[in-house]
Chain A
């Protein structure tokens, strides 16, 4: 059944004044900044709300870890003093060098680099998911800065925008995202975008392999339909 023309449409029964108001009503939407804010708030609330208890437990866990770390550090200092303490006073020059993590570039910087650095290293399906595994503890590697969700979003939004017309750049962005945001909550989106980009580039075998890995990892993903996975 064909319905009546909507008031915002030309030729509808509404007069021009009312039509303008309806079009204005239709144009109401949040700014990109408001969307980011909305996403950040909703994610934070969704993560926090249902588990007051687990938050407490996490805090308790952190306290225990701090206590353990303090004991270990204390023990190490004492041992070091026993070994070296009598030889000489420590000087600031002897302080162990700490590698400073490289700053994470903004989306536009990443994009520019992705657009220039076209050669795409082969990413095996298993390697694509590897960064999501829990990082192995290491005393020599400084902790990575926890990325702000909006940094990731900006990169993925850019990749999403590019995937139709510049799939190579989109693919580079997803690869970059995998490297920089190792424990990302958006890995699923990233992989879906990467598969789309590979298909656009006619790298069908790689796309198929990655899709298989994707299906295994995200059997209930809302992207499965978009990626043409049957048997939903």
Chain B
């Protein structure tokens, strides 16, 4: 039986973390048309696992783990359905004023595609650090890795993402070919 208290917890979690869940699912390659359903699935799992959640660990990184599993299963389902869901309108009916919107959406789609090419560890660090702005110490605790290892993963992920985006001509000069990854602790 789901208690009132648990439903209260669920409400609080949804209100506080729905944006995080939404973004993570988006950047883990869940098609735009499936993000709402996948988010709901995440919070249902959250409800089931709430009792086992350690209060001293980070909610966001815990949610990230759930999102990763849900994203994986959603992507599998989507590929089986062979749908091409998109919320980007076909180019020919766009007005000039919409061009920038279209451009940024496409560029973002390319970023998501590039993220899909990373391995799980690199993707986790990149999404949590670059997009969710989680501290590296928190990421390290959640992934059970050293902070220095997480930085190494971040630099590797950045290099790969930049390289892929350059190939698609998204990133202009200055983002990369002649640039080395940051040294540890550089700012």
Contacts and interface: CB of A to CB of B under 8 A. Distances in A.
B23 A15 contact: no
Given A47-B7, A185-B4, A21 B187 contact: no
The 9 A-B residue pairs with the shortest CB-CB distance, nearest first, are A29-B19, A42-B43, A4-B182, A188-B8, A15-B174, A15-B175, A46-B47, A185-B7, A41-B40
B74 interface: no
Contacts of B108: 21, 24-25, 28
A53 B150 CA distance: 46
Interface stretch (A79-87, A94-102, A216-224): A216-224
B172 A42 contact: no
19 contacts: A3-B136, A4-B154, A8-B131, A17-B172, A18-B165, A18-B175, A22-B111, A25-B27, A28-B23, A29-B22, A37-B36, A39-B18, A43-B10, A45-B44, A46-B2, A51-B1, A54-B1, A218-B5, A221-B8
A2 interface: yes
B104 A30 contact: no
A22 B147 CA distance: 23
A185 B9 CA distance: 10
Interface residues of B, number: 57
Given A5-B187, A18-B165, A51-B1, A13 B182 contact: yes
A67 B172 CA distance: 74
B23 A25 contact: yes
A20 interface: yes
A232 B55 CA distance: 10
A101 to B, nearest CB: 23
A57 B159 CA distance: 58
Contacts of B5: 188, 218, 220-221
Interface residues on A, range: 35 or more
Interface in B113-171: 129-131, 133, 135-137, 147, 151, 154, 158, 162, 165, 170-171
A157 interface: yes
A16 B39 CA distance: 31
A39 B12 contact: no
Contacts of A22: 111, 130-131
A1 B131 contact: no
A230 B112 CA distance: 44
Contacts of A43: 7, 10-11
A83 B9 CA distance: 55
Contacts of A47: 2, 7
A26 interface: yes
B112 to A, nearest CB: 8
A30 B26 CA distance: 11
Contacts of B43: 38, 42, 46
A5 B20 CA distance: 20
Contacts of A49: 44
Contacts of B44: 42, 45-46, 49
Contact of A38 (B7, B36, B174): B36
A115 interface: no
A18 B187 contact: no
Contacts of B27: 25, 28
A35 B18 CA distance: 7
B173 interface: yes
Interface string A198-232: 00000000000000000000101110000000001
